[in-house]
Structure 1
Amino acid sequence: MMHSVESLEKELARLRCRPRAEAATPVLGEFTVDVAGEPAPYVDRVRAVLSAAVALGATSEFEGQDLPVESIPGWFIAVSSGQGGSPPEFSRNGRDLYVSYTGWVPWGIQDWLYRFAPEEESRGWEWWDATLVGPSRVRVWVDCWGESFFGCEELRWLLCTAGAVHVDGPAVRDVEDWVAETKDGPADAT
């Protein structure tokens, strides 16, 4: 799946502010995430990392060199590179959760950031929204272009390392499921 600078700019806008229901596609991908503690700080951490990565995707040259990481939160750099000190406990636990789910080694920060290059085809999703659906549960909604199977391991890595204790998904859901969670439900983290 190809992303463009324009699509990255729209994704960045959705990271900053919940999109209107009229802008949604008929279906969205959904991850249900259980977190340790309050869900709002969890969503803030996810948004902070994704906002920085998507902004890099829209503005940086991806020519095989290291991308700048100054805008990436320090905890994510630490868990994704082993640099910058010891990651916080929530992030270390999330790294272990990801490895137990996948059996893979943890992501490196540069490999992870390169998934946000406009011409990168392996990232099969764009951020749509997050809804708080319980005292320790979040739903993360992504535009997956209606596909039931799409590349999303970079997102799973972030969801785990931001403080998840369990991640289900992705599942393809009708957009009305998202709309229902944005009306009269718990407030968004923005």
Structure 2
Amino acid sequence: MTALDAVRARQSWSKVDDTAPSHEELLTLVAAAGRVADHSSLRPWRLIELRGSDREVLGAAISKAQGDTSPSTKPLRAPLLIAVVASYRKSDKVPRWEQEAVASGVAHMLSLLLDDAGWGVLWRTGHYTRAKAIAKAHGLGKNEELLGWLYVGGKPAGKKPGRRKAVDARKHVSRMPKPKPKKK
């Protein structure tokens, strides 16, 4: 399968089974995902692996962030969650937005690699990703922000991935506008 084939085949899997890649398998994919374009090679990202009871801790933090009394069960929907963290570095050349783009690029590349390796993946976000309770649960530093979680598990037999419409590239690609003639 080519890279183009893999990207075209990628789908979000909102329901996965209870199998997940091992820590070692994950490290191999993260090493590859980390090859995204990264101005000045700042590596302004990190990933946090949540398995087992880590997901319950996250569920309690989500509930606290939302003001709920019972723990959220959302983190229990997949056996592996990968928290995507933008870890901003001081730089005179690379602005904050560009560093966040790198962290997002790593997450997206990792989701493609996981999908290509046969795992079901869904990138979840939510308003509570920026909540203090969530930051504390993840041990985020003052120069870090959570961008969301990759929910990862096995693709259930006989199940279909989420729906995804084809992209009409013509609607999203244009040419640079021609300069207007100067008035004399």
Q: TM-score band, normalised by the shorter chain?
A: 0.3 to 0.5
Whose Rg is larger? Answer: 2
TM-score (norm 2): 0.32
Higher-RCO chain (CA-CA 8 Å, sequence separation at least 6): 1
